[in-house]
A = this chain, B = another copy of it.
């Protein structure tokens, strides 16, 4: 079967658009690997600011990538859980981690 390059490119660009900037994928990865509270997620991603993480989590909640639950304790506890949809990025993230490792080895060889 001939590959439909235009269709492949559209699928690829949809994904790139959805991934958006530099923080979406690290935040998805952090939540999918078990971090649940804002400060936990923030600490797990060096370089992210409170403001950027806050914006990212709001967008992700709107896009149904995370479920935000507020427990009315004192103090109030807020938890972020990955949705099934969020976990569909698993393979892309896995391949990106593999690529990053191979890249590091390649650099080290020089």
Chain B residues whose CB sits within 8 angstroms of the CB of A3 once the complex forms = 33
Number of copies: 2
CB distance from A84 to the nearest CB of B (A): 11
A18 to B9, CA, bound (A): 19
What is the interface size of chain A, counting residues whose CB is below 8 A from a CB of the partner?
Answer: 39
Asked if A78 is at the interface (CB within 8 A of a chain B CB), the reply is no
Given known contacts A3-B33, A5-B33, A44-B5, is B97 in contact with A12 (CB within 8 Å)?
A: yes
Residues of A within 8 A of B (CB): 3, 5, 8-18, 22, 25-26, 29-30, 33, 44-46, 85, 88-89, 91-93, 95-104, 106
Contact of A14 with B103 in the complex, beta carbons under 8 Å: yes
Contact of B8 with A29 in the complex, beta carbons under 8 Å: yes
A26 to B5, CA, bound (A): 11
Chain B residues whose CB sits within 8 angstroms of the CB of A92 once the complex forms = 92, 95-96, 99
Chain B residues whose CB sits within 8 angstroms of the CB of A91 once the complex forms = 95, 98-99
Chain B residues whose CB sits within 8 angstroms of the CB of A26 once the complex forms = 9, 12-13, 16
